[in-house]
Every structure is written in structure tokens, then in C-alpha cells.
Amino acid sequence: MIVVTGGAGFIGSALIWKLNQMGRSDIIVVDHFTDNEKYKNLIPLKFSDVMDRAEFAEEVDNGFLKEYKVETLYHLGACSSTTQLDMGFLLRNNYEYTKFLCNSASLSGVRFIYASSAATYGNGSNGYSDDESKIEQLRPLNAYGYSKQLFDVWAKNNGYLKEIVGLKFFNVFGPNEYHKGDMRSIVNKSFDLIKEKGFAKLFKSYSSSYPDGGQRRDFVYVKDVVDMTIYFGENPSLCGIYNVGTGKANSFNDFIKPVFKAMNIPEKIEYFEMPEVLRGKYQDFTQADMSKIKKAGYNKPPTDISDAVIDYVSNYMNTPDQYLK
């Protein structure tokens, strides 16, 4: 049996989609269902059961992991909003809950793979290396990143990184992110605007190092992300923290241009002021150091950024059924 927390969410549902393609449907989906429409991500997928996160915690307390012979717990559930300011909520949701599941999995002999975040790297002044000896040097720019950093440090200090895997996801985009509101990728946000008005909007730059739209991120397609995630599920000897990205930074301008190409619409980009809440907390540059995961044996090249965007727009967003199936 496999458990995926955050299983109705973006990366979680994509992971289940990939597991289905591999012939696995013995999956327990765990999530916190609210009034958004992320449940739609689950409709085309195959799984054994679905549980609320609070119910799951109670079941884990009562021996669920051993009783159902869970082999791998992919803990992808979290509040991923970079504008969330309620640190108490983030501590309960992202830190304490992860500690609880990690400890429970360890006691039950269950493989535990969890979502960390590239947000832990902050402005990048200390680099983007997933070398665990440098974890304490990182300085996240927002509360979300800090909540992820707290668990990474706790796992290291308590010896768990010798038996679990933490994945630092960079800027993930692709099908099944539709419910994420402001946390959707700029490709997703721009699609309807381009379709309706013929132009896209990007943040102005507030750094002399980057022109408007020239801020650069390591954008990684969700299909590549789930391939890397499952690699660790299939190789239980691998432990520690690993970056999940492409190893190449692309500008927002270059990220958005293939949308116009896929829609056969001339390129037109307008730039607007960044909200005050983001200024000073915005990552102008991210680029994953992928040497560690390659050394661990994962050598599948990432999808080219233009090809990934075109696949997303042409085969999902611009179709009646946008979901992975």
C-alpha cells in the first residue's frame, strides 16, 4: 500500500497519475478538503481510499501504517502559500504534522518521502546546494519557506535524514494546478488573459541585475517532478535531502513566450507593479544544483522548458478536459 498526503493537490495528484500509469492503484489519498475544486484532480485517477488529514492522523495513532502494510508514505501535503503570514498555522500544518508522520513512519518501518521546498534557499546568497551540512546557513525569505526549513533542520538534528528523503521542489508547473489560486504558475495565470486580450502580464523587476520579466527561476515540469519523486520510492537505500529541478534557470519572459506559440498568438507582454507584501521577499533567481541527484543515479534529462509549456497548453489547458488521466 502507498499513502500520498496532499494527494488531491497539484504534485500529489500528478504522482498518483504516474503511479497509475505504472500499474499501481493500491493508494490511500490523504488531503484537507475545503471549498476549492482540487477534488477534480482525483476524478480520473484510481486509488483504494481517500481520507481527511485529521482522520488519517487518528488512524496513524491507532496503528494504520502497520495494519495496512504501508510501504511508502509520500508526504506532499502542506500549505504552500508564500504569502501566508500566520506562522502558528504554518507550524501546525507544515512542521508539527510532518514531524508526527515522520516519527510514525520511522517506528513502523515505512519509507518516508516528504516535500521540502526551494523557498528554503531564500535569496540564494548561500547557494542552491542540497548539501545537508549547509542547511543551517539558509535564510528563507517568507514564513512558508521557514516552516519547511524548520523541519529540514529538525530531521537532520534528530538523525532522520539517514532514513528518510526530503525533496526540495523548485518552481513546479503543469496540469492539475488549477485550484491553486495565486500560487498557480505564470503559464496557468496567463493563459486566459492571452486568450481573451492577447497579452500576458509579468512583475516589474526591482533589482538592477534583472530587466522587467528577466528574473530567472528553475521552472520544472510536474511530469519530471513525479519521475524524480518515484525514483526515491523505488530506491530505498537513498536517503537525505535532494533538489528537484532542472539545473537551468530561465527568465519569466522566456517561460511565457511558448504560451503564445502554442496558442498561435503574437507575443505581447506588459509589466506591472509587484504587491508590497512580496517586495523584499521575492526570489529573483533560483537554479537547482542537480549534482547530488545525478550522483544518486537519476540521469533522465528534464523536459525542455519550451516543449513542457507547449505540452501543458496544447494538451491540457487548451482542451475540454484539462486534467491528468
Catalytic site residues? 144, 180
Q: In which region does residue 245 sit, left (phi positive, over 0), alpha (psi from -120 to 50) or beta (all else)?
A: beta
Is residue 111 helix, strand or coil? strand
Residues 6+ apart with CB under 8 A from 87: 143, 146, 147
State which amino acid sits at residue 271. Y
Is residue 49 helix, strand or coil? strand
Q: Where are the beta strands (DSSP E) in 153-195?
A: 165-169, 171-173
Instruction: Identify the residue whose cell numbers are 528534464.
Output: 302
- Count the residues in the chain: 325
Q: For residue 312, give the C-alpha cell.
A: 501543458
Angstrom distance (rounded) from CA 20 to CA 141:
37
Q: What is the DSSP letter of 212?
A: T
